[in-house]
Amino acid sequence: MKSRNSKFSITIGLIAIFLSACNGQLTTEPTATISPSSTLPPTTLPTATTTATATVTPTETTIPQPGTLAFASCSESKCAIYSIDNDGSVLTKLTSDMVYIFNPLWSPDSTKIVFSACPTGNIQCSDGNFDIFTISFDGSQLVNLTNNPSEDRNPDWSPDGKKIVFNSNRSGNHEIYSINADGTELKRLTNNTRDDMDPKWSPNGSRIVYETTKNLSTGGWYYEICVMNSDGTEQKELIEGVSPLWAPDGTHIAFSGADDNISDIFMIEPDGTGLKNLINNPTDEFDFSWSPDSKLIAFATNRDYNAEIYILCVDCEGNQQINITNSDTNDQKPSWSPDGTQIAFLSEDTLCVMNADGSQKMCFDIKASGTIDWKP
């Protein structure tokens, strides 16, 4: 019988072999040069790879191809949503400039992007007027779905693309709401005296995970991970933590929790059982992203003084983890491609893409902030 440790080597090894076969297909702008690096053994830390910087120029809008990324780019007091191919070949500005933009996410059918934005106001957006918007993949049909003088944030698509869930403080404190993708049938899902935020649909669309604030008897507050049915019924508190994220197969929820005041990544089953600390490291870990097969998690950590991106095996004994960036810059916000072969991330505030083993890293000459989302 194979050990659980060997499962980790097999999983990473298969990815490495597959990516090695695909490396020859990775193309760049004519002005960009990439020095290929060999695929690394799964049990050794990769050495730093040569990074190519591609200069990208906005082009005529085309139908997004597999590998297209959506992201927000901000400078001074303005932000906009862009899309770009994973080789840097097609950069498209999709929205006009707004004050703040957060959480751009492709719809399941790849025809729209949802995001939260403060469309007008000063650089601090002091009036707190964030709305939920959608825009078509080609930059047409910008729609303000909520259009309310409140703070509407953290949108997430239902798996069938028919609804969007988000949090809003329009009732005084933040509550979870759902709305049809065309802006009709707004429904309040939670009704609590505390703040309920950051909702995420389960992969099968039946449940929603979110975080809620809880008051301490000694003063102050903390966050609790909760789940409920998609219609708001059967709300259940699971455990203290923030930033819940469903595994793509729906069997677990990863979240950020504190162990001895150090931020680690944990996972738990949706019924509240099977709690596991995936990290157990005396440094802070953050910005985690599941691989499409739910076997690996990419995350950022400051254990190397600057932020680096690591990969961990979820089911392996010994909390095995591999550094896949190993650079002198702060690398964070990893996001897996839908086929699991690549990871997009931010190096400082520059958008980059690399193979899932850390090889063939390529950075684009454009600034990005917050969520990076791959076209399904």
Q: Residue 263: its pLDDT value, please? A: 83
DSSP 37: -
Comparison of pLDDT for 61 and 245, the residue scoring more: 245
Spatial separation of the C-alpha atoms in residues 64 and 110, rounded to whole Å: 8
The widest CA-to-CA distance across the chain, in whole angstroms, is: 63
DSSP 23: G
Q: In whole angstroms, what separates CA 250 from the centre of its chain? A: 16
- Residue in this structure with the two tokens 């082009």, named with its chain if needed: 59
pLDDT confidence of 5, banded at 50, 70, 90? very low
* Least confident segment among 41-55, 132-146, 219-233, 288-302: 41-55
* Other CB atoms within 10 Å distance of the CB of residue 124: 11
Query: Coil, strand or helix: which one is 245?
Result: strand
Average the pLDDT over 202-219 and give the result.
Answer: 90
Token representation of residue 45: 């830390």
pLDDT tens across 22-71, in order? 333 333 333 333 333 333 333 333 333 334 444 444 444 445 555 899 99
Q: Residue 112: its pLDDT value, please? A: 97
The pair phi, psi for residue 25, each rounded to 5°, is -90, -10
Comparison of pLDDT for 258 and 257, the residue scoring more: 257
Q: Residue 124: its pLDDT value, please? A: 63
Q: Which amino acid belongs to residue 346?
A: L
Spatial separation of the C-alpha atoms in residues 128 and 123, rounded to whole Å: 11
Spatial separation of the C-alpha atoms in residues 343 and 291, rounded to whole Å: 9
- Residue in this structure with the two tokens 């650079």, named with its chain if needed: 327
3-state helix, strand, coil in the chain (%, to 5): 5, 45, 50
Q: Residue 83: its pLDDT value, please? A: 96
Report the predicted TM-score, pTM, of the whole model to 2 decimal places: 0.83
Q: For the chain, give me the number of helices (H) and strands (E)?
A: 1, 29
pLDDT tens across 295-341, in order? 999 999 998 889 999 999 998 877 789 999 989 999 999 999 999 99
Q: Residue 87: its pLDDT value, please? A: 94
Mean pLDDT, the chain, rounded, equals 84
Q: Residue 272: its pLDDT value, please? A: 97
Comparison of pLDDT for 33 and 215, the residue scoring more: 215
Spatial separation of the C-alpha atoms in residues 136 and 163, rounded to whole Å: 16
Comparison of pLDDT for 123 and 326, the residue scoring more: 326
Comparison of pLDDT for 127 and 70, the residue scoring more: 70
Is 60 exceeded by the pLDDT of residue 351?
A: yes
* Per-residue CA distances from 369 to 67, 84, 85, 91 (Å): 19, 14, 17, 16
Q: Name, in order, each residue with C-beta under 8 angstroms of 219's C-beta and a sequence gap of 6 or more.
A: none
